[in-house]
Amino acid sequence: MNLDKLEEVLSSEPQYRIKQVKFDLFQRLISDWDQATTLPLSLREKLKKEFPLLLRAKTLISKDQKTVKALITFDDGLSVESVLMRHNGRNTVCVSSQVGCPLACLFCATGKMGFKRNLTSQEIIAQVLFFARYLKNFKPAGKVSNVVFMGMGEPLLNFEQVIGAIRILNDKNCFNLGARKISLSTSGIAPGIKKLADLELGINLAISLNAAEDKLRSKLMPINKKYPIKEVLKAVNFYIAKTNRKVMFEYLLISGVNDSLKQAEELSKIVRRNLYLVNLIRYNPTGKFKPSGRDQIEMFRELLEKKGVNVTQRFSFGQDIKAACGQLATQETPAGL
C-alpha cells in the first residue's frame, strides 16, 4: 500500500476524488474497491490493479481475548509484529517502525533479532489499518482510539517515515486521530528528541531509561555509550521547554539488576522534576533475565513516591502470546533468501 502511488493514480481525476478515496480507505475502511460505490467503475478497476487493498496478516489472540497480535508481511517478504490492546474502553494499537532493531538492548527480544530495514510510512499505517478493519468487523464494532510507537524498532532512527505516518494518523481526511492519542517511545536518541521538539506535534513522548547511572545503562542499552543519560536528559529538557508537555520515563524492573532500593534512590535524584513521570514496568521474560518480585516492585515504587517522584505502573498484556513489551520478534525468512 503506497499513498504516493494512490495520488499518482488519481492525478488525472477531479480534485475531490482524493478526499473521497481517503474517506473510503481510512474511515469507511473498505477492504475491496468494489465497496467504493461512489467511484466510477472504470476507476475502481484501475485502482484494483494499481493499488491493491489486501493486507497479508496472521493473528494470534490472547486467552483473555484482550490482546491481539498480528504478523504483517510486506511485499519483500519481511514481516513485523503489531499488537492491539483492548482495555479500559480503549483500543490501542502498538506499531513497529523497523524490521528488527539495530540497538541490541540486552532485555529486548527485538534487539536480539538484529536490524533488517526501516519501514515506510505506508507500512506503518498498514498496521493501524489492519486493526481498524479488524475492530470494524468486531461485535460490537470498535475503533482504534490510540496508537503507540512501542513495537519493534527505534522510531527516532526512522524519523522521516515515522513523522509521515503520524501526519497520516492525524490528517482529518485520513484517520483523524488527535496528537494526544499518539505516543512515541525512544531509547534516547538525543538529536531525534530535539528534532521532534522542533516539530511541535503535540504527541506524547516516552524515554526508555531502565537505569539511573551510565555504567549499568550502557551495559543494558549499548546506545547509552553514544547518548549517555546526561545528553538524553538535556534533550528531554529542551523538549519540555519547547512543548510544555509531560515526558514519561519507562523503567523496566529486572530482578537483581536494576531494582534495588539504592538504585531507586539514584533514580529519584534524576527524575524528581516538573513534568517528569516515571512508569515502572515489570520485565517480561525474553530468556535473559528474571522479572522483579511483586514486593520488590512495591518497595521500589514506595521509595520513589516518598522522594516526591511522579510514578505510575504499567501492567503488561498478552504475555501468553508473546505480545507484551519487549517480546516482539519475527523469525520469518524473506522469500528467496
- Point out which residues bind ligand SF4 (CB under 6 A): 101, 103-105, 108, 110-111, 153-154, 187, 208
Evaluate whether 265 touches 294 at the Cβ level (below 8 Å). no
Nearer to ligand SF4, 109 or 197 (CB): 109
DSSP state of 33: G
Q: Which does 204 bind (CB under 5 to 8 A by kind): ligand SAH, ligand SF4, none?
A: none
x-or-dash string of contact with ligand SAH, 312-331, rule CB under 6 A: -------------xx-----
Measured between alpha carbons, how far is 119 from 101 in angstroms, rounded to an integer? 11
Residue 24 touches ligand SAH, criterion: CB under 6 A:
no
Query: At a CB cut-off of 8 Å and minimum separation 6, what does 249 contact?
Result: 206, 207, 209, 271, 276, 277, 278, 279
Contacts of 194 (CB under 8 A, 6+ apart): 235, 238, 239
CA 12 to chain centre: 36
* 283, 301, 309, 329: which one binds ligand SAH (CB under 6 A): 283
Residue 284 Cβ vs ligand SF4, minimum distance, rounded to whole Å: 11
Among 108, 305, 325, 332, the one annotated catalytic: 325
200 is catalytic: no
How far apart, in whole angstroms, are the C-alpha atoms of residue 129 and residue 139?
18
Residue 250 makes contact with ligand SAH by CB under 6 A: yes
Q: Where are the alpha helices (DSSP H) in 13-158?
A: 16-22, 41-50, 109-112, 121-136
Member of 24, 81, 154, 259 binding ligand SAH (CB under 6 A): 154
- C-beta separation of 164 from 12 below 8 A: no
Give 169 or 184: the residue with its C-beta nearer to ligand SF4: 184
For ligand SAH, the binding residue among 30, 177, 252, 264 (CB under 6 A) is 252
73 is written with which cell numbers? 508481511
Residue 108 makes contact with ligand SAH by CB under 6 A = yes
For residues 275-295, one letter each, b for 16 or more C-beta atoms within 10 angstroms of the residue's C-beta and e for the rest, the string is ebbbbbbbbbbbeebebbeee
Nearest to residue 158, comparing CAs of 127, 189, 113? 189
User: What is the C-alpha to C-alpha distance for residues 129 and 181, in angstroms, rounded to an integer?
Assistant: 16
- By beta carbon distance, the residue nearest ligand SF4 is 111
Residue 122, CB-side half-sphere exposure with 13 Å CA sphere: 13
Say whether residue 186 binds ligand SAH (CB under 6 A). yes
Q: Tell me how far, at minimum, the Cβ of 2 lies from ligand SAH, in Å.
A: 25
CB of 22 to ligand SAH, least distance (A): 28
> Which of 73, 91, 118, 286 touches ligand SAH by CB under 6 A?
286
CA 35 – CA 20 distance, rounded (Å): 13
Q: Which does 121 bind (CB under 5 to 8 A by kind): ligand SF4, ligand SAH, none?
A: none
Nearer to ligand SF4, 112 or 273 (CB): 112
**Residues 6+ away with beta carbon under 8 Å from 68:** 59, 60, 61, 62, 83, 84, 86, 131, 134, 323
Query: Considering beta carbons, is residue 31 or 319 the nearer one to ligand SAH?
Result: 319
Name the segment binding ligand SAH (CB under 6 A); options: 4-12, 29-37, 172-180, 280-288.
280-288
The site partner of 284 among ligand SF4, ligand SAH, none (C-beta below 5 to 8 Å per kind) is: ligand SAH
Asked if 325 is an active-site residue, the reply is yes
Catalytic site residue from 81, 123, 154, 250: 81
The number of residues that bind ligand SAH (CB under 6 A) is 17
SS3 63: coil
Q: Which residues are catalytic?
A: 81, 325
Residues that bind ligand SAH (CB under 6 A): 107-108, 150, 154, 185-187, 208, 210, 250, 252, 281, 283-284, 286, 325-326
